[in-house]
Amino acid sequence: MFDFERLGLLGLFIGNLLAATIVPFSSDAMYVTSLFVMNNVVLCFVVATIGNWLGSVITYYCGCVAQWNWVSRWFKVDKETIEKQKNKIDRYGVWLALLAWLPFVGDLFVLALGFYRTPKIPTFILLFIGKASRFSVWTMFFL
């Protein structure tokens, strides 16, 4: 991919951080590859989880700085659609953060959570739980 595996744990951290932003590549593939190459399950789990979580925190803050008029102009979304999305975010709230690991839509959920300013601490905690759960599943498959 980007040759992050040659950087060892630092590469795993950077790759997972970037994968949780809008950079389009798979943190899962990077994680599983690192498990095989480094053969240190616990350290890989901790580094990947923290890197991926921090990437989501960055994405959340990117959502926070976005403005209504930017969204409507750049993405051609009208005010009514934005209000409907706001209602969904209000309905599911910070719990959407548990789904941040999902391919394609997970980063959009995090961006929306930031855009609609969900409470930071619960959002960040649930982001961490979701990311750690995903890497736990991969780790169980590896063992």
pLDDT for the residue 116: 87
31's tokens: 């994680």
* Residues of the chain scoring pLDDT < 50: none
- Taking the C-alpha atoms of residue 18 and residue 98, their distance in angstroms, rounded to an integer, is 19
Contacts of residue 135, Cβ cutoff 8 Å, sequence gap at least 6: 31, 45, 48, 49, 52
The pLDDT score that the predictor gives to residue 37 is 84
The answer for 25, left when phi > 0, alpha when psi is -120 to 50, beta otherwise, is: beta
pLDDT in tens, 98-112: 988 888 788 888 988
Angle at alpha carbon of residue 107, lines to 101 and 111, rounded to 5°: 135
Residue 55, pLDDT score: 94
Q: Are 94 and 121 in contact (CB under 8 A)?
A: no
* Sign of the four-CA dihedral 34, 97, 128, 136: negative
CA 49 to chain centre: 10
Q: What is the spatial distance between Cα 55 and Cα 38, in angstroms, rounded to a whole number?
A: 22
3-state DSSP call for residue 22?
coil
